[in-house]
Amino acid sequence: MNQIKKLLIIGFVWPEPNSSAAGGRMMQLISIFKENGFEITFASAALDSDFMVDLSELGVAKKSIELNAVSFDDFVTELNPDIVLFDRFMIEEQFGWRVTEKCPKAIRILDTEDLHCLRTARQKAFKENRKFEITDLFSEEVAKREIASILRCDLSLIISEFEMNVLTDHFRINTDLLFYLPFLVDKMSKENLLKLPSFQDRRNFVFIGNFLHEPNWNTVQYLKEAIWPSIRKEFPEAVLEVYGAYPSQKVLQLHQPKSGFYIKGRAEDANEVVEKARVVLAPIRFGAGLKGKLLEAMQCGTPSVTTTIGSEAMHSNLPWNGFIEDDVFEFAKKAAVLYQDENLWKQAQKNGISIINECYQKSDYSDRLMPIVDSLLLDSESHRLHNFMGNLLQHHAYRSTMYMSKWIEAKNKS
């Protein structure tokens, strides 16, 4: 009988698939490993939340852990996982050296979620009112930390082809250390559209996104101040409903029913909200990774209008399921036309199905990932031998992280 393989996931937060695309992404990763026979433990130092998924229902063990505490060493030694998956580079920084020290044979996998250094550099360029350049990444402190984390791990899961190219072409990361893994969904057919609300049965524009994510908050500000007034000129009866988890008071203050701008707060069922809407608006001005809200729109048969950043790496060379527009006035015009032209709207729906089936099929990627994982489990020594920079960083960089953590640990005891 084959020995059961153990996977430890160390989460930045507990998964909230109804609150963010990151939560949905984590659920997809859990699903892949569960389907391949792994016994999974999910650990996090985050506080429980009202909206976290019930891991026990998925057959996943839940473990609360502490930062900068020797108790984690005892826990991971006893668990002795075959694989440890770090949720974002900050978690690898915090716990990676402990895993390496206590479970040196465990395969270390990093799920980047998106390239934080790319998002940070773009946000900085936006706030400085200048064009982002790839070379901006090289001066970002977070880039040094994130790339070091990627090099220290045996494999990093990259969600965007654009980010794959950034890592291989500009940071010169060996492709053996990277695996492209986008969002993963089931195949759709045109018959699936018949089960969804029709053009006539849908109402209003919608935006949906977690407000703890800075690009989402900026997008809603942009909608309120620039995009929405232009849409109302084109289409005076238009209504926009803005949904998102964790809205702050500054978000709630944008609620203005007289102008058709409604702040709705958390959506209990995001799919239901998007399925009832006729068009998704997402004028995203900075960010990284893939936009879960736009893939969700395609799954719900809801065309969208977004920006170049919003659509980045999401549709290969296929036509978008709506429009991609960076100019404020053109964005507004396209949104109004898409909302009112049924034939154009239906074609956009079909474009979305083509994108889903071409770019996001779960089996295509999980079937490629698991052989790589199995190969690492069989012969990690050879893989690590060829990752000299990773070995170098293990030797030097971890020392500073380790001693800082031990200092905090000792300070907390005193």
Confidence of residue 1 (pLDDT cuts 50, 70, 90): very low
Rounded Cα distance, 264 and 243, in Å = 5
Do 5-184+362-413 and 190-359 agree at the fold level? yes
Q: Where are the domains of the chain?
A: 5-184+362-413, 190-359
Q: Name the nearest CA neighbour of 95 among 17, 34, 152, 171.
A: 152
What integer pLDDT is reported at residue 193 of this predicted model? Answer: 87
Share of the chain above pLDDT 70, in %: 96
What integer pLDDT is reported at residue 396 of this predicted model? Answer: 59
What integer pLDDT is reported at residue 2 of this predicted model? Answer: 58
Helix (H) or strand (E) holding 281: strand 279-282
Q: Class for domain 190-359, per CATH?
A: alpha beta
Q: Class for domain 5-184+362-413, per CATH?
A: alpha beta
Chain segment 220-267, per-residue pLDDT in tens: 999 999 999 999 998 999 999 999 999 999 999 999 999 999 999 999
Rounded Cα distance, 206 and 276, in Å = 9
Chain segment 339-391, per-residue pLDDT in tens: 999 999 999 999 999 999 999 998 889 899 999 999 999 999 899 888 888 87
Give me the DSSP letters along 381-401: HHHHHT-HHHHHHHHHHHHHH
Arithmetic mean of pLDDT over the chain: 94
Which residues make beta-bridge pairs with 323? Answer: 305
